[in-house]
Amino acid sequence: GDISSANALIDGSESTVTVNLTNTMDNTNYYVRIFIQSQSSSGIRYDDMVYTPVFIPVTNNQFKVGFRESYRALQNLKIHLEVVQL
C-alpha cells in the first residue's frame, strides 16, 4: 500500500515510526520489507551504525517500525518500505 503519513518518536538512539497506509490491507496478516539506503557522500561507513529494524502490524492500515542505532551519530539514511499481504 501507499503511505499516507509517517510520524517518528525519537528517544535517544531509538526511534519508533508509525506508518499509515492509504490502501488498506485485507487484515493484519502482512509483512513489511525494510531497506536502508546510505545517502552519505563521505562513504557507507558513516551510515552503517543501525541495528536491524523491526516492525509490528497495528491495524490493517497502520504499522510501527522500530530503529536503534549502535552508536548515536549523525547518519544520512533513506528508508524504503514495501508492504506485502500474506
Which residues are paired to 66 by β-bridges?
A: 16, 54
Query: Higher model confidence: residue 7 or residue 41?
Result: 7
Whether the CA torsion 50, 51, 52, 58 is positive or negative: it is negative
Q: What is the pLDDT of residue 1?
A: 63
Q: Could you tell me the pTM of the whole model?
A: 0.89
Share of the chain above pLDDT 70, in %: 99
* Confidence label for 58 from pLDDT (cuts 50, 70 and 90): very high
- Please compute the mean of the pLDDT values over residues 30-55 and round it to a whole number: 91
| DSSP β-ladder status, 54-59 and 3-11 | unpaired
